[in-house]
Amino acid sequence: MSDFSIHWFRKDLRLEDNPSFHFAASEGRIVLPIYIHDTVNNQDNPEFQEGEATRWWLHHSLKELNQNMDHQLRFFNGNPLQIIQELIEQYSIQSISWNRCYEPWEIERDTEIKSYLNQHNIEVKTFNSSLLFEPWEVLKEDQTPYKVFTPFYKKGCLGRHPGPRQLVAKPKNIQWANLQSLGTKLESLDLLPSHPWHEKLHHYWTPGEKSGKIILQEFLNEGLDGYKDGRNFPSLKNVSRLSPYLHFGEVSPHQIWFADKSGNPQRDIDHFLSEIGWREFSYYLIFHFPSMCTENLNGKFDNFPWEENPEFLKAWKKGKTGYPIVDAGMRELWETGYMHNRVRMIVASFLVKNLLIHWKEGLDWFRDCLCDADLQNNTASWQWTAGSGADAAPYFRIFNPILQARKFDPDGTYIKRFVPELASLPAEFLFAPWETSPVILEEYGIELGKTYPKPLVSIEESRDYALKAYDKIKG
């Protein structure tokens, strides 16, 4: 019987720049590639489970990956430790390798599996595939973790030597185990949601490594020039839309870091790479402070007087708050599984500071609806907005959705795309329609409270109320 080298695919759904896959397929090794949908180890933590948009993406990414591997990928459902034990019992396994994952429950699971393999004298190798720097390698001089982004990125990351690892070539002349009867069908993983809302996502996305490479190159060619300023305007093309491809490992941060960016202004290149740095920082924070996933990093927010208001929360989710830029963002999310980053900050600030609804409610909704839903990015970003996280924006930094819309969507292109009932309204009336004369609104076929909602709250009054609530916990 031949000895097999197992590569366990996880959040590295690509063949290029895949260190573990490259190791498993190195000269003389016969590769048994597997994917295990873990249905056991995260079941007690809903915040760790995939949302529906994520599951949709995962299904189609795995489908493309399997096609790119001549249908050699074997699928499994259940407990990874048990499945790996069964594979070892049934086949002659030379080695098992994987690329590291960084969610707290994954680290605990993988540590247990690695211990089991070592005890049974199975060669086990793990690699860094999804981060430029390992979180435990970037520490301050006193060996404690950073809590502020700028020194983390400029001193901890950019100041390090050596820098990010070089790219790893796609293996050639791969010898497959060719065990066609092993495992189950992709469809048996039951990833696709039963509700058909996700079917529209096909109009906006093509999951997989091939598409990720195309998206990256298109951005470098057409979107990077002007990125530093243009990324704030949701109707402009200065966004990469690479986040879901990064989350699933269809594109690696190393491929982005070392991609040819020549011909673009250095200020735009540097700012784009710093956004990759923010992704690193989110992973870094969750690694060093795993309780952030469920608790405020800043403990004083444990006493913040959040309000429970199901009616307001539902209106926010459905994009019916009466604030056009907020509603446009929430409808973009529901329609496309994505939201522009500037708008994400606006809608998040509105939820936690104008409606005083707990950041966990927003995190849960984003987790379910975003194709790029990522525990680290999602958690760190929501806590940043709420003021309870590391390097947090001061709580009193409250985005005014009217001013934000006027500044970053001045002609209303973005709003009108996702809030079509306001599409006929001139920009001068668009950002705060309740301030417009009913006669003018009637002229454009708009009746507040019927064709478009009245504002849930007053921006000025809700801001004052939020600041008073914050005063109670400042200490």
CATH pick for 299-471 out of 2.60.40.10, 3.40.50.720, 1.10.579.10, 1.10.3720.10:
1.10.579.10
Query: Residue 75: is its pLDDT beyond 60?
Result: yes
381: its two tokens:
């970003």
Burial class (CB in 10 A: 0-12, 13-18, 19+), 61: buried
The ranges assigned to domains in the chain are 4-129, 130-165+208-288, 299-471
Q: Helix/strand/coil (H, E, C) string of 26-37?
A: CCCCEEEEEEEE
Question: In the predicted model, what is the mean pLDDT of the chain?
Answer: 95
How far from 355 is each of 33, 333, 455, 465, 466, CA to CA, in Å?
A: 48, 19, 11, 10, 8
What is the mean pLDDT of the segment spanning 452-471?
Answer: 95
What is the mean pLDDT of the segment spanning 393-410?
Answer: 91
What pTM was estimated for this model as a whole? 0.96
Q: Give CA–CA dist 258/235, Å, rounded.
A: 28
Per residue in 9-49, pLDDT tens?
999 999 999 999 999 999 889 999 999 999 998 777 777 88
**More confident of the two residues 160 and 337:** 337
What share of the chain has pLDDT > 90, as a percent? Answer: 92
Single-letter amino acid, residue 430 = L
CATH pick for 130-165+208-288 out of 2.40.37.10, 3.30.460.10, 3.60.20.10, 1.25.40.80:
1.25.40.80
Least confident of 130-139, 298-307, 383-392: 383-392
Scored b (16 or more CB within 10 A) or e, 184-214 reads eebeebebbbeeeebeebeeebebbbebbbe
451: its two tokens:
């064709």
What share of the chain has pLDDT > 70, as a percent? Answer: 99
Q: Contact at 8 Å (CB) between 293 and 382?
A: no
Nearest alpha-carbon partner for 257 in 158, 149, 339, 160: 158
**Dmax of the chain from CA atoms?**
83
Q: Give CA–CA dist 24/27, Å, rounded.
A: 9
Q: Is the bond preceding residue 162 a cis peptide, omega within 30 degrees?
A: yes
Q: Contact at 8 Å (CB) between 280 and 132?
A: yes
pLDDT of residue 393: 67
pLDDT of residue 455: 98
* CATH architecture, range 4-129: 3-Layer(aba) Sandwich (3.40)
How far from 60 is each of 56, 78, 99, CA to CA, in Å?
A: 7, 20, 21
Assign 395 a pLDDT band (cuts: 50, 70, 90): confident
pLDDT of residue 46: 75
